[in-house]
Amino acid sequence: MLTDYGMFLDLITMKTKNKMKRSLLLLPVLLITISSLAQSGIDDVISAMKNGNASGVTKYFDNYVDIVMPDKGSNYSKSQGELILKDFFANNGVKNFDVKHKGNNDNGDYCIGTLQTKNGNYRATVYMRLKNNKQVIQDIRIEQL
């Protein structure tokens, strides 16, 4: 009887070890997935900027966003910010967005680049932060070069 109990404990211990090994093997996959999801926000914004797609940028706006442009700057609601960015893109005819630097800090991601338009080049800076497990734009600056 004691032998059966010992085998039972060995079986439970072996199953627990196997579960732990599987969990440890899945951990890197989970971390890579989370990291790539966080990066997709800034990459989507960069792609939208390259194509002059204001809607692609504004879908990442937080409820309120700081916007600085050559002729205006303030903290705007998401809907106001969307109108301002769409107007800027439409009036300036975006040709391309050349990323000069992209990175992240403790709170989120950012990128700095040259926004090329038919009316000249602008330095564009986008700051994103993690809010409720989602990257949102908190600040966007477009300044004439």
Share above pLDDT 90 across residues of the chain, in percent, rounded to a whole number: 69
pLDDT recorded at residue 123:
98
Q: CA nearest 66: which of 130, 125, 115, 145?
A: 125
Q: Is 18 exposed, middle or buried (0-12, 13-18, 19+ CB in 10 A)?
A: exposed
pLDDT score for 22: 64
Residue-range domains of the chain with CATH: 2-144 (3.10.450.50)
In this predicted model, what pLDDT tens digit does every residue of 13-63 receive, in sequence order?
A: 777 776 666 665 655 444 444 444 444 799 999 999 999 999 999 999 999
Instruction: Return the minimum-mean-pLDDT range out of 39-43, 107-111, 129-133.
Output: 39-43
